[in-house]
Amino acid sequence: MAKTLAEKVWDAHVVRKGDGEGANAQPDLLYIDLHLVHEVTSPQAFEGLRLAGRKLRRPDLTIATEDHNTPTLDIDKPIADLTSRTQIQTLRNNCEEFGVRLHPLGDAEQGIVHVVGPQLGLTQPGMTVVCGDSHTSTHGAFGALAMGIGTSEVEHVMATQTLSLKPFKTMAINVEGTLRPGVTAKDIILAVIAKIGTGGGQGYVLEYRGSAIRALSMDARMTICNMSIEAGARAGMVAPDETTYAYMNGRPHAPQGAEWDAAVEYWNTLRTDDDAVFDAQVDLDANTLEPFVTWGTNPGQGVSLSAKVPSPEDFGDENAKAAAERALQYMGLEAGTPMKDIRVDTVFLGSCTNSRIEDLRAAADIIRGREKDPKVRMLVVPGSARVRLEAEAEGLDKVFKDFGAEWRFAGCSMCLGMNPDQLEPGERCASTSNRNFEGRQGKGGRTHLVSPVVAAATAVRGTLSSPSDLDPAPESAALTTDAA
Amino acid sequence: MEKFTTHTGIGVPLRQSNVDTDQIIPAVYLKRITRTGFEDALFSAWRKDPSFILNQEPFNAGSVLVAGPDFGTGSSREHAVWALKDYGFRAVLSSRFADIFRGNSGKQGLLAAQVAQDDIELIWKTLENAPGTEVTVDLASKTVTCGNVVAPFEIDDYTRWRLLEGLDDIGLTLQHEEDITAYEATRPSFKPLTLPARTS
């Protein structure tokens, strides 16, 4: 029978098929190839194991790092916040007790868990990957079935290396065409979410397909899969191809020699069969796509950057209308205001959505030789210690610092405002992260989700801007670029 | 896990869609390492507003939350479920739940009952016209009753069975440990192990 990519990966991991058929079917028991652990959603799971006298079944399929709650300044000093320090210490103690590999703050492999897995080569095509974090969908960029889970499921995976899951439906997201300059993967996914809504992907695994997706780098594919959850989908996938293999080859945990050949042979089978049928399908035209930005308080409330703030009256559905009214009030925006007239206080470049080396390079290319709007604060938080080192080797840290941005240590940082990196009440932020929820980046903070290049252009002008809005960079900039 | 058969308690109308888990419990409360004691964290930003529904009697004593569509979106934090339970909620009604939230609820004995939006509207009206009206959620018959409104709700059979029986998920899975071991023997050797650690 013809199968989609998601169905192939699912079927290859069924330990035990659930009894029954159709709507009455029991869940399947699926094997989990990789379990990523961090400090926030794991302590209660480890405690559960301890209380039940259970072991962690496969420490050799488990890896932990510290990211959500870590400071991005003074990382060599004890963490000032006592509760945070206790949580980090708890992870360290648990990893020691249960034999889990940990990359702690200060380690060269520490960083946002979804940046660390791929860069170590632990995320590979055809795997099942889980983590107590909804943005685990990121790893789907490799053709893995990757999903976020809650703490009870974290404990379940620790104890059994499996999950009980009901099969998902499948949705094809077809993106055909060529992106225009200044339009990125972030704009694709924001446009997809605006189109299908925050619940549109609920119950589905999304497969991103089409020429525009095939043309994307791995970093860009990760940006897209990362935000699948913002459309309600638990997972998003891209079929592996030569781009995937080129990224993987030579990574620390990538297969080598004959193992590599065997792996590639298998990975080549991981694509949706031509005659396979998706349960749903969505088309997006890459040729006409513009830089995208959110105006509201959920990731589906987005428009083209060249558009205006919508009016609640634009929405037919009563719930959407009420949500828009509430969002405009929270965001302090008036319907009809051009998005590009909106002034921001802060620009945040970071998060598991957009903190990889290509994101930093793209933003650096925009600001190189330009001046930051003096009223704007810009925070640059690399996704991992490794990305930070790589960026410094290329001199990107100097570009950001010369521009007047703060160059921080790796972590989740202002994406969720768990550590001290937060917005003040009423502050407005252009953020490359994934959620514009009320108070997400700090109590009363207002978030506009944007791509790295829009974030950079916004830092120059002080208002939401695309790179094409910028005056040509002074001549010295061109020289710097050549030198780099 | 505690068994759930039927529950009756004061209904709380929350006329809002897209109630994400950052609203249910903001990230600052996730620094704790316990599984209980989150009642103060529930909707903490909204509870600063005196007009918020949970700041009004008798809704502050509610145990059945009746919310708009797309409840529990966003972060996977199970703390959202713990906070709802710690506050005293036993059931949440919505026309659409985010997948992870619904899964987390099922593991913790919080009933996430999917009710058609038309019925939600009727229940909202009943609760607003007569604050303090109790809502009965009957898991055996999959019906919710509020005043004159009697509506069916959806929940997947497996979760329903586990809730009715109060079964522990891990215990159920470990009954199939032989299957897990057999599967492990078939995994291809090119699949990565995290140990021993390799770094660049």
My answer on whether A328 and A275 are in the same domain is no
pLDDT digits (tens, 9 = 90+) for A335-366: 999 999 999 999 999 999 999 999 999 999 99
Residue A483 confidence (pLDDT) above 60: no
Nearest to A438 among B23, B30, B170 (CB): B23
pLDDT of residue B116: 98
Residue A401 belongs to domain spanning: 305-483
Least-confidence region, from A365-379, A465-479, B106-120: A465-479
Say if A298 falls within a structural domain.
no
DSSP state of B178: H
CB pairs under 8 A between A and B: 222
pLDDT of residue A484: 37
Average pLDDT over residues A290-303: 98
pLDDT of residue A23: 65
- Domain final residue, candidates A252, A284, A316: A284
pLDDT digits (tens, 9 = 90+) for B128-141: 999 999 999 999 99
Average pLDDT over residues A462-475: 90
pLDDT band at A473 (very low <50, low <70, confident <90, very high): confident
pLDDT of residue A475: 55
My answer on whether A24 and A55 are in the same domain is yes
- Domain final residue, candidates A251, A284, A317: A284
| B99 touches A202 (CB < 8 A) | yes
My answer on whether A221 and A357 are in the same domain is no
Residue A476 confidence (pLDDT) above 80: no
Say if A291 falls within a structural domain.
no
Say if A177 falls within a structural domain.
yes
B contacts of A155 (beta carbons < 8 Å): 170
Average pLDDT over residues A420-438: 97
Interface test with A, best of B43, B99, B121 (most A CBs within 10 A): B99
Q: Indicate yes or no: pTM above 0.90.
A: yes
Strands B134-138 and B6-14: antiparallel
Average pLDDT over residues A151-161: 98
Q: Please, what are the domains in chain B?
A: 6-185 (3.20.19.10)
Mean of pLDDT over chain B: 96
Residue B111 confidence (pLDDT) above 90: yes
Q: What's the CATH code of the domain at A357?
A: 3.30.499.10
My answer on whether A230 and A348 are in the same domain is no
Look at A234 and B100 and tell me if their CB atoms are within 8 Å.
yes
Residue A256 confidence (pLDDT) above 70: yes
pLDDT of residue A155: 98
Look at A148 and B100 and tell me if their CB atoms are within 8 Å.
yes
Look at B192 and A124 and tell me if their CB atoms are within 8 Å.
yes
Residue of A nearest to B36 (CA): A44
pLDDT digits (tens, 9 = 90+) for A217-252: 999 999 999 999 999 999 999 999 999 999 999 999
Least-confidence region, from A12-21, A59-68, A146-155: A12-21
Residue of B nearest to A83 (CA): B31
Average pLDDT over residues A460-482: 77
My answer on whether A312 and A261 are in the same domain is no
My answer on whether A61 and A201 are in the same domain is yes
pLDDT of residue A481: 44
pLDDT of residue A19: 85
Say if A350 falls within a structural domain.
yes
Could you give phi then psi for residue A291, rounded to 5 degrees?
A: -55, 140
Strands A162-165 and A28-31: antiparallel
My answer on whether A243 and A366 are in the same domain is no
% of chain A residues with pLDDT over 90: 94
- Domain final residue, candidates A255, A284, A313: A284
Look at A24 and B157 and tell me if their CB atoms are within 8 Å.
yes
Look at A101 and B104 and tell me if their CB atoms are within 8 Å.
no
My answer on whether A187 and A318 are in the same domain is no
Instruction: Tally the domains of chain A.
Output: 2
Residues 15 through 74 of chain B touching chain A, CB cutoff 8 Å: 15-18, 20, 22-23, 26-28, 30-35, 45, 68-70, 73-74
| B85 touches B109 (CB < 8 A) | yes
Provide the 3-class DSSP secondary structure of residue A330: helix
Mean of pLDDT over chain A: 96
CA distance A286 to chain B (A): 26
Average pLDDT over residues B45-62: 97
My answer on whether A241 and A381 are in the same domain is no
My answer on whether A221 and A319 are in the same domain is no
Structure tokens at A455: 């974030």
CA distance A148 to chain B (A): 6
My answer on whether A354 and A267 are in the same domain is no
Residue A410 confidence (pLDDT) above 80: yes
- Residue A352, marked binder: yes
Residues 141 through 200 of chain B touching chain A, CB cutoff 8 Å: 156-158, 169-170, 172-174, 176-177, 179-180, 183-184, 187-195, 197-200
My answer on whether A250 and A370 are in the same domain is no
Structure tokens at A225: 């899969």
Average pLDDT over residues B106-128: 97
Say if A420 falls within a structural domain.
yes
pLDDT band at A368 (very low <50, low <70, confident <90, very high): very high
Least-confidence region, from A219-228, A465-474, B3-12, B92-101: A465-474
pLDDT band at A480 (very low <50, low <70, confident <90, very high): very low
B contacts of A127 (beta carbons < 8 Å): 191
Average pLDDT over residues A310-321: 92
Say if A294 falls within a structural domain.
no
A contacts of B103 (beta carbons < 8 Å): 149-150, 153
Average pLDDT over residues B22-37: 96
Say if A293 falls within a structural domain.
no
Considering only residues A98 and A23, tell me which one the structure prediction assigns the higher pLDDT: A98
Residue of A nearest to B77 (CA): A150
Say if A289 falls within a structural domain.
no
Residue B193 confidence (pLDDT) above 50: yes
pLDDT band at A125 (very low <50, low <70, confident <90, very high): very high
Interface test with B, best of A56, A160, A294, A301 (most B CBs within 10 A): A160
Structure tokens at A224: 């897209």
pLDDT digits (tens, 9 = 90+) for A161-214: 999 999 999 999 999 999 999 999 999 999 999 999 999 999 999 999 999 999
